[in-house]
Structure 1
Amino acid sequence: MTQSLYEQDILLWAEDTVAKLKARDFEHLDLEHLIEEVKALGISQRECADTSSSNTSR
C-alpha cells in the first residue's frame, strides 16, 4: 500500500497544502489530514493559553 504525502513527509505535505490553498485548488486538498491538523493546532493553542494564564495568576 502506498503511503500518502502526509505519512511520508509532513513538512512537505504542509507546504503542498499551503500552495494548494493559495491557488484555491480546493479539489485536491487532503481534507482529512488538514482537518486533523487544524483541530490539533486549536487544542495546542488552548492548552498553551491555559498554561500561560495559570502561570500569571500565581
Structure 2
Amino acid sequence: MAIGQLADYNRFVGHSIRAILLPSKPREDLLALAEAQKCAVIWPEGRGFISTNPEALP
C-alpha cells in the first residue's frame, strides 16, 4: 500500500528519495519489492534507525 501511495504522491511532489517508515524490518522479499520500485525502507533499531538508503536518514 505504501508503494502505491508514494507513486501517487510523486505525481504532485517530486523528491529525490522516496521512503517508507516501518515499525520493524520487513521480510527480504518486501525489501526487494521496495528496491525494485526505487523506495528506501526505514525501520528502528536500538536507539536509532536503519535504512536501505543511508541518504534517506538525517
- TM-score between both structures, scaled by the size of structure 2: 0.29
Structure with higher strand content = 2
Greater RCO, CA 8 A, separation 6+: 2
Q: Which has the larger radius of gyration?
A: 1
Normalised by the size of structure 1, how large is the TM-score? 0.29
Greater percentage in helix = 1
